[in-house]
Structure formats: structure tokens, C-alpha cells
Amino acid sequence: MFYEIVELQDISGPECTIYSVIPKGSELTLFEAFVEENIKDYTFEIDDIYQRLKTIGNKFGARESFFKHFEGKPGDNVCAMFDIPNKNLRLYCIRYGMSVIILGSGGQKPKKIVSWQDDPVLRKEASYVIALAEHIGNRIVKQHDLWWSKDDMHFNGDLKNYGEEDQ
């Protein structure tokens, strides 16, 4: 799994650092690709997600109430932006307490489906974020190429993970 972790400085702030990932070979972060794929049909929702992320970064931090938890495996921190009634989009992310989020991608979640596993697009996007969470989590635990800053607000180390596949 090869990727670069990049800070989204326009929405990060003193309360929460917000990152996304650029998969190797792509020019866009997962979040930018999510926006690009959905902006035409869901302009209001994309704007709402963007404004909520800015508020998370600058005012409130990544409070639990902003997210739908347990979207991945136990303990992997994968969640989705809180599903507000009558909204159609689901954005998967990895939440590290109140201070760091890594945004993935997502898609439209029809209200008729119960879980992401029931939709092929959401299944693909959620599965990728789950795999990413496992890979990043292993790198943080090993602390040989990725670790937390002293204030636990930033990643330090090799943010361009283009090296060994089995880290």
C-alpha cells in the first residue's frame, strides 16, 4: 500500500489537524477526489461537509458527536462523517481522538441501505480506508518511520510511504 499523507491546511486549525491521502500514481487526495466526484450532484452537501471540517479544525476538534463510529474493524478508528438526516453523502475517515483526522473518500448512501457493505461504491471506499487505517496504525505502533509530534497534533516521519510494502 503506497501513499502520501498530506495536511489539508485550508481546513486544519488549532483544534484538529486534518489530513488526507494521495494514493501513489494519483494527483488528488482521496478527499479531493470525493469532492470532485460529488460536487455536481451534491453541491450543498459538499459545502456542508467542508464547513463542518473547517469548524472541526478551528473551533471544536474532532468531537465524537460529529462522526458515526465503528465503520471499520474494532479499534481501527474508522468512522464516517455523522449522517445528518436527509443527507446523501458518507465520507469515511480515520479519527485519532480529538486532534487528528485522516479523510478518505466515500459516496452516496441511499437511505434504503442499512450498511456500507450493501452498496458497491461504499464497500470499495470503506474497505480502502479500513486497509489504510490498519497500515498507518502498524506504522505508528512500530514507530520506525511514522510517529506523533510531541503535541499529538501532527504526524512526523515518512509521510510519503513509497518504500517497503510490508511496513
Q: What is the C-alpha separation between 39 and 35, in angstroms, rounded?
A: 6
Q: What is the C-alpha separation between 166 and 113, in angstroms, rounded?
A: 35
Which position has the higher pLDDT, 146 or 87?
146
Q: Which three cell numbers stand for residue 72?
A: 471499520
pLDDT tens-place string over residues 8-59: 999 999 999 999 999 999 999 999 999 999 999 999 899 999 999 999 999 9
CB 167 within 8 A of CB 161: yes
Give the pLDDT band (50/70/90) at residue 167.
very low
